[in-house]
Amino acid sequence: MNSTDLKHHAQASASLDKADSDHLSDAISSILPALTAFYEFEGEDLAGRNVEEWKQRLGTPLPLNGEGLDAVLQELVNTVIPNGLRNGHPGFSGWVTTSPTSSGAAAHLAASIAGSQRYWIQAFNFLETVSLNWLKELLELPATWQGTYTSGGSSANLVGLGAARQWAYEQIGIDPSSTGIGGAPPFRIYASSEVHHVVNRAAAVLGIGRRSVVGIPTDNDHRLSITELEKQLKADALKGIRPMALVATAGTVNIGSIDPIEQMADLAEQYGAWLHVDGAYGLFGKLDERVKPLYKGLERADSAAADPHKWLAAPLGNGVTFVRDAAILSRAFTLEPAAYLEGSTLQDGNVVSPFDDFGVPYYDFNLDQSAPSRGVAVWAILKEIGASGFKERVVRHNSFARLIAEQVESNPVLEVVAEPVLSICCFRYNNGKMSEDELNRLNALIAARLRSESQFVPSTTVVKGRYAIRPCYINPRVREVDVTGLVERVSELGNEMSRQL
């Protein structure tokens, strides 16, 4: 069909099915001013305060008859976009995700239209491979490792641990992906008590069980204690419990600590376990020469997860897993052949149409059959800023966390709760006149006031019983004033509120 035929076809069937394919450019242009205004993050974030108003406008019954494209665009402009999520605001340091920068957003839009599926011989499929290779190069991972994009850190860890499970059960003569693991001897996963809870969920989904994830205590630097890990492995070996995987976290979500990967690699070898590194937040921290030595041993891991939708600020829905042995990964996740798909490809003929070949079979390496092209956003961002631009960002953010620590240390009413390793610095108000309970309550109130009335929005956490304010810098838009301003505001609010208390 040529484009004129397509238009006639669309018009002929346009009576009830109002779906428009002819005004893409107008549609995008009409929402661009609202998006641009939102992206400037001016004024207050009113989405929380006006919640009843916009919920009422949006929470309507299913329309029987479509209202058409213009009605949709109008509501997007007037109600949806202005009440969106402002975690890209330079003062927001609450999570390890942010809103995308322009090249990633443009690539994401391009992929939703021109690369709406990563199959087949086409440019978007190729960019999955190109960008995965770039990420390996950036992280200095062996070029032979198989990479695969996922929807984020949860599924990236699930995929890595799915490969671990395949490998571990094959060691005892079981193919878990074909026969399941019912009745097989117990396996355990060992990780620090600071491990992200998505690892426990991955264990649940994989049939290993949440309770089979052993939380190893951390040392004074909040890193997994090697002595405790070794003790536990020895004790379990005596009981006949096998280690499926050791999980090292490279950048814990609470504090940013990095487990002793090299020593964990030694123990994995000694006890016959798979070594998985969860670097969803912090794997890119390796780009900062000041902390790079902490990543020693990464090249000995069997799998590693990283999230471009965190520090690289790719549009959300962008995680990645690298696995040393592509064959194991494929045995764990391969799809059984399907006639409707396989039958459409040539066995050994020439590729004359994209339909003749699937390209790299990424659907055999993770959980999705159909999936968006995620690599194009990573490719776009890395092409735009280069390895050195990204490196500079990581260094800048790690320096922001160190700047917080310096300012806190020079302020008599503030206290560092956990020294920064990467781009997180946990601190609290402490004027030296209150009990631990009172301090915990006061710091929670300070955080609540920060969120409700200031432009500084950090998250909070609890470190060894102490409630802490936890700024985490991964947002490329953060400026130094946002960092120093946060420290000043915590100090002011703490002084004011402790007087009232």
Residue numbers at the binding site for ligand PLP (CB under 6 A) = 96, 152-154, 157, 196, 198, 249, 251, 253, 278, 280-281, 307, 319
- End-to-end CA distance of the chain: give it in Å, rounded: 74
> Please, what is the minimum distance in Å from the beta carbon of residue 150 to ligand PLP?
9
- Round to whole Å and give the CA distance between 134 and 147: 11
> Please, what is the minimum distance in Å from the beta carbon of residue 250 to ligand PLP?
8
Indicate the burial class of 52 (C-beta count within 10 angstroms; 0-12, 13-18, 19 or more).
exposed
> Is there a contact between 431 and 498 (Cβ–Cβ < 8 Å)?
yes
Q: Please identify, using beta-carbon distances, which residue of 314 and 493 lies nearer to ligand PLP.
A: 314
Q: Please identify, using beta-carbon distances, which residue of 198 and 446 lies nearer to ligand PLP.
A: 198
Instruction: Calculate the CA dihedral of residues 245, 249, 250, 253 and round it to 10 degrees.
Output: 150
> Please, what is the minimum distance in Å from the beta carbon of residue 159 to ligand PLP?
12
Q: Please identify, using beta-carbon distances, which residue of 253 and 267 lies nearer to ligand PLP.
A: 253
> Please, what is the minimum distance in Å from the beta carbon of residue 305 to ligand PLP?
7
> Please, what is the minimum distance in Å from the beta carbon of residue 459 to ligand PLP?
10
Q: Please identify, using beta-carbon distances, which residue of 157 and 430 lies nearer to ligand PLP.
A: 157
> Please, what is the minimum distance in Å from the beta carbon of residue 180 to ligand PLP?
26
Q: Please identify, using beta-carbon distances, which residue of 103 and 154 lies nearer to ligand PLP.
A: 154
DSSP-derived 3-state class of residue 428? strand
Q: Please identify, using beta-carbon distances, which residue of 320 and 493 lies nearer to ligand PLP.
A: 320
Helix axes 375-409 and 480-500, enclosed angle (nearest 10)? 50
> Is there a contact between 156 and 150 (Cβ–Cβ < 8 Å)?
yes
> Is there a contact between 487 and 445 (Cβ–Cβ < 8 Å)?
no
- Round to whole Å and give the CA distance between 370 and 117: 6
Q: Please identify, using beta-carbon distances, which residue of 93 and 330 lies nearer to ligand PLP.
A: 93
Backbone angles phi, psi at 216, to 5 degrees: -85, 130
> Please, what is the minimum distance in Å from the beta carbon of residue 310 to ligand PLP?
7
E strands in 280-331? 303-306, 319-323
> Please, what is the minimum distance in Å from the beta carbon of residue 261 to ligand PLP?
14
**Of 402, 383, 372, residue with least CA distance to 480:** 402
Q: Please identify, using beta-carbon distances, which residue of 176 and 285 lies nearer to ligand PLP.
A: 285
Q: Per DSSP, what are the bridge partners of residue 322?
A: 147, 304
> Please, what is the minimum distance in Å from the beta carbon of residue 280 to ligand PLP?
3
Q: Please identify, using beta-carbon distances, which residue of 214 and 320 lies nearer to ligand PLP.
A: 320
| Residue number of the CB atom closest to ligand PLP | 153
- Locate 396 and state its tokens: 């800048």
- Locate 474 and state its tokens: 């991964």
- Round to whole Å and give the CA distance between 380 and 382: 6
- Round to whole Å and give the CA distance between 301 and 158: 16
